[in-house]
Amino acid sequence: MTNDLQVHVRKESSYAVISTDGYINNVGGEKVGEIALGLVDEGYKNLILNLEKSNVVNSIGVSILIELVERIQDVEGRLYFCNLTKVIAKTFTIMGLAEAAGIVDTEAEAIVALAAPQEA
């Protein structure tokens, strides 16, 4: 049983969207992290992580996402999560990810949030 996480990337002029499909566990979290940091290296410091097709996560996967958020903040980048199920949003809150990253309902809201000036 592999349950490989599928990841799709869409690059726009000022941001990139990473869309996941499947289980975000340790392997899935690392896959997302590698892709996101690769985008940062390419110059995309504004990222959106769309979890519309991921309805299960585990705490190891979420801990890797927290580390990803910290690394993106280190380079003054921004990451917004969108399309979370209610239970994943609650899990993010319990894990402390909701405090570290922006969480919005839709991709459109994430794009608007990224267009706003970054707080000092």
Partner 1 sequence: MAKDPPGAGTSKEINLTIPMLPNMEIAATQTAEAVARFMEFDPDQIDAVKIALIEACINAFEYSNSSEGQVYIKFIMNPEDLVVEIRDHGQGFDPEHPAALPKKHRGKGLTIMRGLMDSVEIASGPGGTTITMSKARASR
Site of interaction with partner 1 (CB under 8 A)? 1-3, 23, 25, 27, 55-60, 62-63, 66-67, 85-88, 90-91, 94-96
Nearer to partner 1 by Cβ, of 1 and 120: the residue is: 1
Q: How far is the CB of 83 from partner 1 (least distance, A)?
A: 14
Which residue's structure tokens are 């209610």?
86
Q: What are phi and psi of 80, to 5 degrees?
A: -115, 140
Q: Tell me whether residue 1 or residue 116 sits nearer to partner 1 (CB atom).
A: 1
Amino acid at 101: A
Q: How many CA atoms lie within 13 A of 4 on its CB side?
A: 3
- Pick the closer one to partner 1 by CB: 17 or 84: 84
Handedness of CA 99, 41, 113, 87 (dihedral sign): negative
Q: How far is the CB of 10 from partner 1 (least distance, A)?
A: 26
